[in-house]
Chain A
Amino acid sequence: MLDAFDTLILARSQFAFTVMFHIIFPAFSIGLASYLLVLEGLWLKTDKNVYLELFKYWRKIFAVTFAMGVVSGIVMSYQFGTNWSVFSDKAGPVIGPLMAYEVLTAFFLEAGFLGVMLFGMGRVSKNLHFLATFMVAIGTLISTTWILSANSWMHTPAGFSINEVGQYVPENWLEIIFNPSFPYRLVHMVLAAYLTTAFIVGGVGALHLLRENSNEAARKMFSMAMWMAVLVAPLQLVAGDLHGLNTFEHQPVKVMAMEGHYHSHAEGAPLYIFGIPNDETQSLDYAIGIPKLSSLILEHDLNAPLKGLDTVPDELQPPVGIVFWSFRVMVSVGMLMIIVGLIGAVLRRRGHLYDSRLFHRLCVLMGPSGFVAVLAGWVTTEVGRQPFTIYGELLTSNSIGPVEKQAVAVSLLAFIIVYFLLFGAGTYYILKMMNKLPEELQTISHGPSRVMEGHSSKRSERLGEVQNGQNIQSAGEDNQGGNGDD
């Protein structure tokens, strides 16, 4: 019994660990792909060099991010089977096809055109190259759509029946795909990805403005990022609120945990700002709350009664502490983003966007804020679905396959070591690239042009005769960079 429990915890930890690592990369690359599309479009339209420079700069960072996303994604597509084979057998007929469509409509599209986007400038026309960038960007969004549909179905299952061997079988594909929480989750996630990217781009821009505030590329990326922040962050607040109301309608228990409502409130429930959830005593210790505000937000009525976790059997409650706090982290980061966006807008109006050093420092600090919010948000929604994998239908403890504890433990350890090692290295390289200005990054690892590339390789070969060994790297850099140039 204890053994089965341990295996379950280990398998859950493994899924949580690999999926949390994985989501970091798409959260960045979805937004970055769209940003690259905008940059290339602006370059084609205006012919201004700064856009091309920025495009090439962020494309290098995109390439590394995307590679990490791909390899950590392959892990996900096999993890369902290795540890959660009972879930796979039961849910496969419904969510399997959604994932198959993700592969067919999105993964191939991204992968097929990624090569052209990264290495094809100079081999194809400008318009065709732009088309390739467009395909990569649209591919990331299509992928988001399918995977969020599948994920949402696990939160708000619809359009299915159960067959004689206990499998969930599709009855109505439209109801399955457009299940109740899907549209809200999709919008919320796409905006989150855009905000994540905007704050990274803004952070990098701010970093370079702190060093050299006349740099055109730094100014341009910072300005674009601040526009995104002021426009999208408030929009995300609205989307998040609607998503919350949707959750309240379909997964009320999750909202009780988010709100820390252990007790039902007959006349208006408070919005707790702080508190220490205690599942043992089923109470929120040291609670500080604003009276009746929760009822106002959720029911649009100050005195509306709200049910609490006291109406839910203990074994069907999610772990409140995690959900309660991750939700607060997400909301706080979101609020900070709105504030940064507003300050940016005010500074821009007053003409100080590029010379307010304090604000630039704040933006550097806010650079990774999107990741924090995305992870906290996913923890809220996924832990909040517990103890179910398919909400109200299939318990997590009944989803695990016949795996041995040892196998799960060893593989979990392997994932942890490999991920920290390899993705740590990737993060280091990305930070190193971000630490350079676009023009610096180009001179270091970009050959001048396809035709010139021959020159530089020849040159490095000749140099190599003198300085043996040196030519190895420079020829390689020229080759790779040269492919990416026109």
Chain B
Amino acid sequence: MIDLPLIWASLLAFAVFVYVVLDGFDLGIGILYPYLKTGQDRDVAMNSVAPVWDGNETWLILGGGGLFAAFPLAYAVIMPALYAPIIVMILALVFRGVAFEYRWRDDRHKPIWDLSFHLGSLAATFSQGIVLGSFVQGIKVVDRAYGGGWWDWLSPFTIICGFALTCGYCLLGATWLILKTEEGLRDRAYSFARLFGVLTLVFMAIVSVWTPFLSPDIAERWVSFPQLLFVIPVPTFIIVLGCLLGWGIYKRVDRVPFFATIGLFGLCFAGLGIGVAPYIVPRAITIHEAAAPHASLLFMLVGAVILIPIILMYTAYSYWVFRGKIDPNAGYH
């Protein structure tokens, strides 16, 4: 029989990864927003994501909804455990989401919504980093429910993860702007990319070194022999992609930095997977223990197999319609 829980865990991991990459760049732009020049630069930056942000955030709903549907027990444990950061995240997403429309509605209010866009993006990102950190750090489970308090998520490790993800999203945002803009804004984006490229790599190193100390179980995965062969490619490729990113930024090849950054995120994600599998609540509940019954998973899989490729196609189409550099003078020459 096919291993449906494993398939669903992979699909959800894929959804979360797509979310992180796609909303990562538009959240990153939000974080960088106050450091862009007011006026045209900000408008262009906002317009570069306005047609796609809504689709980007839909992957977050798929992540949350998919966890609820495929692994209800994990959803029921993780959400109460991460209560505060989740609430902050969704409220922050409200602040930034409405700004896309509100900032055009009244000139006098524009600075307010630009600030709302910035702070919302920053708070949402930092909370997501904390969510990620707490997840890796582990969650106390008692009798099919969360067994800890509502501040258990707070630790130096989760705070570091918050900073790490913030730098990572800034890098995604900056490299997206490099891809989509020209002239002054692009120059500025390159300088952001230099700064956050270095910071992101530094934080990746810190988190990677720290993680094995969280639990002997993780440490064992990373250093014991047969796994080592499987595990070694991850840091190796991180070094390769880090160099590629540096080269793209140094030589100013507009297309390279964004995709190199996506690659880096992908590798971190793979590393995370190696540290967590086969658990869905690390070291407490496995994917098989949390999985919804066969009938639920199969019913959804039929839809997912048909629909996810179609979704990817029309999402790609929508990106293609708005392809190329966002230039306020486009079509004029």
The chain A residues found within 8 Å of chain B, CB to CB, are 63-64, 66-68, 70-75, 77-78, 80-83, 85-86, 88-94, 96-97, 99-105, 107-116, 118-120, 123-124, 163, 165, 167, 169-171, 173, 401-404, 406-407, 411, 414-415, 418-419, 422, 425-426, 429, 432-433, 445, 450-451, 453-455, 457-458, 471-473, 475-480, 483
Contact = CB atoms under 8 A, between A and B. Distances in A.
A71 B94 contact: yes
B329 A70 contact: no
Contacts of A75: 90-91, 94
Contacts of B296: 93-94, 96-97, 169-170
A426 B97 CA distance: 12
Interface in B267-286: none
Interface of B: 38-40, 42-44, 47, 50-52, 54-55, 57-58, 60-62, 64-66, 68-70, 72-73, 75-80, 83-84, 86-87, 90-91, 93-95, 97-98, 100-102, 104-107, 109-110, 116, 144-147, 149-150, 292-293, 295-296, 299-300, 303-304, 307-308, 311, 314-315, 317-318, 321-322, 328-332
B25 to A, nearest CB: 15
B93 A116 contact: no
Contacts of B43: 472, 475-476, 479-480
Contacts of B94: 71-72, 74-75, 418-419, 422
Contacts of A475: 39-40, 43, 328
A124, A476, A477 interface centre (most CB from chain B within 10 Å)? A476
A108 B93 contact: no
B55 A88 contact: no
Given A105-B303, A414-B87, A77 B61 contact: yes
A373 B65 CA distance: 29
A92 B54 CA distance: 25
A433 B101 CA distance: 13
A422 B100 CA distance: 13
Contacts of A96: 65, 68-70, 72, 292, 296
Contacts of A124: 321
B303 A80 contact: no
B297 to A, nearest CB: 8
Nearest to A419: B94
A92 B330 contact: no
Contacts of A102: 65
A450 B331 CA distance: 7
B318 A112 contact: yes
Contacts of A91: 72
12 contacts: A68-B98, A78-B64, A96-B69, A100-B304, A103-B62, A103-B66, A167-B293, A404-B149, A414-B87, A422-B94, A475-B328, A478-B328
Contact of A472 (B39, B58, B104, B332): B39
A252 B322 CA distance: 54
Contacts of B150: 403-404, 406-407
Contacts of B40: 472, 475-476
A402 B145 contact: yes
A71, A163, A411 interface centre (most CB from chain B within 10 Å)? A71
B232 to A, nearest CB: 36
A163 B146 contact: no
B57 A74 contact: yes
Contact of B83 (A88, A403, A426, A433): A403
B333 to A, nearest CB: 8
A100 B84 contact: no
Contacts of B55: 108, 111-112, 114-115
B39 A170 contact: no
A119 B50 contact: yes
The 8 closest A-B pairs by CB, nearest first: A92-B72, A81-B79, A454-B332, A96-B69, A115-B51, A85-B76, A89-B76, A111-B55
B304 to A, nearest CB: 6
A77, A99, A115 interface centre (most CB from chain B within 10 Å)? A115
Contacts of A476: 39-40, 42-43, 104, 110
Given A82-B83, A100-B70, A450-B331, 20 more contacts: A72-B94, A74-B94, A88-B68, A99-B68, A103-B58, A113-B318, A114-B51, A171-B295, A401-B146, A402-B147, A403-B83, A411-B83, A414-B91, A426-B102, A433-B105, A454-B330, A455-B332, A458-B332, A476-B40, A477-B104
A77 B64 contact: yes
B321 A115 contact: yes
A387 B260 CA distance: 54
Contact of B61 (A73, A83, A171): A73
Nearest to B326: A479
Given A170-B295, A422-B95, A475-B328, A97 B57 contact: no
Nearest to A163: B293
A85 B106 contact: no
Contact of A118 (B42, B51, B76, B145): B51
A370 B269 CA distance: 47
B75 to A, nearest CB: 5
Contacts of B69: 92-93, 96-97, 99-100
Contacts of A471: 39
Contacts of A432: 105-106
A109 B317 CA distance: 12
A103 B66 CA distance: 9
Contact of A115 (B70, B79, B318): B318
A74 B60 contact: yes
Contact of B106 (A104, A422, A429, A472): A429
A111 B50 contact: no
A83 B295 CA distance: 26
A282 to B, nearest CB: 37
B288 to A, nearest CB: 14
Nearest to B42: A476
Contacts of A433: 105
B65 A99 contact: yes
A425 B94 CA distance: 12
Given A64-B105, A414-B87, A473-B107, A402 B303 contact: no
A85 B77 contact: yes
Nearest to B95: A422
Contact of B80 (A119, A402, A429, A450): A402
A100 B65 contact: yes
Contacts of A173: 295, 299
A3 to B, nearest CB: 14
A91 B293 CA distance: 11
B121 to A, nearest CB: 13
Contacts of B107: 473
Contact of B97 (A71, A93, A429, A451): A71
Given A97-B69, A402-B146, A479 B293 contact: no
Given A77-B61, A77-B64, A82-B83, A401 B76 contact: yes
Nearest to A88: B76
A81 B102 contact: no
A107 B58 contact: yes
A123 B321 contact: yes
B320 to A, nearest CB: 10
Given A458-B332, A473-B110, A476-B104, A74 B90 contact: yes
A117 to B, nearest CB: 9
